[in-house]
């Protein structure tokens, strides 16, 4: 008798646990933390560094992603972030600061501020600089597309920088624009070559959703093809003319994209606004939309 009651109780508890698990799986999700790429408000940052960060915190952002420190020391920045309840998981850093003698200084600053990621925001040079044109002549803007071998050289640079960051206890990622989604002589996109040629243990990717969609690619297809590689999202919305707009007012289906965050590997969601309206007001409206978004 006691054994039968025990088994019934165990079955009841098991069934309850299963139902709770299924309920959690189907429960709508929200973003716990939203960050802002400070390039979005660069003029305001230049004019009033502290005041702008105060406005960003008051707007509802939890994190910021730097793109330059505006002549402030790492110690000053860390103290200000702490006072505002902000963190800075990442920073965009040019190739010149991720190579040679500058690399160690960049790493030291990142550790003081509390960055987890150093992100290269554009491709490093793999060709010798072009000579200056004769005085009075304009340099032609036409540029021969990169070859497969040149893209592989870039991937090798990423692996080297990624290794240096890894050795220092940091992580490295690359941020895309539109030109990475152009077919080159291998018949592959540059972006795919970079993904295939970099070590997943050393190189992550910050997928700029806006530029990717503007280039005509499907982020969900990339999550399927390269699961776990996209640890950061640039949350950029676009209108029908591929112009940056307030997040939530454009054409991008963030619900479907965010629903696949686990497959993508996404950990950070960073708003970037490059539109024509008031930057402070626009990024404030963007975070309000994202904080109420369910997916």
**CA–CA separation, 247 vs 252, rounded Å?**
9
The radius of gyration computed from the CA coordinates of the chain, to the nearest angstrom, equals 22
Residue 93's nearest CA partner among 81, 105, 106 is 106
Instruction: Give the chain's domains with CATH numbers.
Output: 32-120+145-292 (3.20.20.150)
User: What is the helix, strand, coil percentage profile of the chain, to 5?
Assistant: 45, 15, 40
Q: How many Å apart are CA 273 and CA 255, to the nearest integer?
A: 19
Q: Specify burial of residue 92 (Cβ count, 10 A radius: 0-12, 13-18, 19+).
A: buried
Give the separation between CA 130 and CA 187, rounded to whole angstroms: 27
Residue with tokens 């190579």: 99
Q: Per residue in 155-195, pLDDT tens?
A: 999 999 999 999 999 999 999 999 999 998 878 899 999 99
Q: CA separation (Å) from 236 to 52, 113, 214, 230, 283?
A: 20, 25, 10, 15, 11
Mean pLDDT computed over every residue of the chain: 91
Is residue 117 within 8 Å of residue 142, measured between CB atoms?
no
**What is the per-residue pLDDT across 188-220, written as a single tens digit (0 to 9) for each?**
899 999 999 999 999 999 999 999 999 999 999
Share of the chain above pLDDT 90, in %: 82
Q: What is the pLDDT of residues 76-115, one digit of tens each?
A: 999 999 999 999 999 999 999 999 999 999 999 999 999 9
Instruction: Look up the pTM and report it.
Output: 0.88
- Report strand pairing: 117-120 vs 171-175: parallel
Token representation of residue 193: 């070559």
Map residue 263 onto helix, strand or coil. helix
Specify the DSSP class assigned to residue 116: S
Q: Cβ of 93: how many Cβ atoms within 10 Å?
A: 25
Going by DSSP bridges, is the β-strand pair 35-37/63-66 parallel, antiparallel, or unpaired?
parallel
């Amino acid at each position: 008798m006691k054994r039968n009651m025990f088994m019934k109780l165990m079955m009841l508890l098991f069934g309850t646990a299963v139902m709770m698990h299924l309920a959690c799986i189907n429960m709508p999700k929200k973003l716990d933390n939203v960050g802002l790429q400070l390039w979005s408000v660069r003029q305001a940052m230049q004019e009033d560094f502290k005041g702008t960060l105060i406005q960003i915190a008051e707007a509802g952002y939890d994190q910021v992603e730097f793109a330059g420190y505006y002549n402030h020391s790492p110690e000053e920045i860390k103290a200000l972030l702490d006072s505002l309840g902000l963190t800075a998981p990442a920073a965009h850093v040019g190739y010149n600061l991720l190579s040679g003698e500058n690399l160690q200084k960049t790493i030291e600053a990142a550790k003081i501020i509390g960055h987890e990621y150093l992100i290269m925001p554009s491709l490093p040079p793999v060709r010798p600089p072009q000579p200056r044109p004769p005085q009075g002549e304009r340099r032609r803007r036409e540029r021969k597309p990169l070859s497969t071998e040149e893209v592989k050289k870039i991937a090798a640079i990423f692996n080297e920088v990624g290794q240096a960051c890894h050795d220092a206890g940091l992580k490295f990622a690359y941020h895309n624009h539109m030109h990475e989604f152009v077919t080159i002589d291998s018949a592959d996109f540059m972006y795919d070559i970079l993904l295939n040629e970099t070590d997943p243990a050393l190189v992550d990717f910050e997928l700029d959703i806006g530029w990717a969609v503007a280039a005509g690619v499907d982020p969900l297809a990339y999550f399927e093809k390269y699961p776990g590689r996209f640890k950061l999202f640039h949350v950029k919305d676009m209108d029908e003319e591929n112009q940056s707009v307030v997040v939530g007012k454009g054409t991008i289906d963030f619900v479907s994209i965010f629903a696949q965050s686990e497959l993508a590997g996404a950990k950070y969601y960073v708003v970037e606004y490059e539109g024509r309206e008031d930057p402070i007001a626009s990024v404030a409206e963007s975070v309000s939309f994202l904080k109420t978004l369910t997916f």
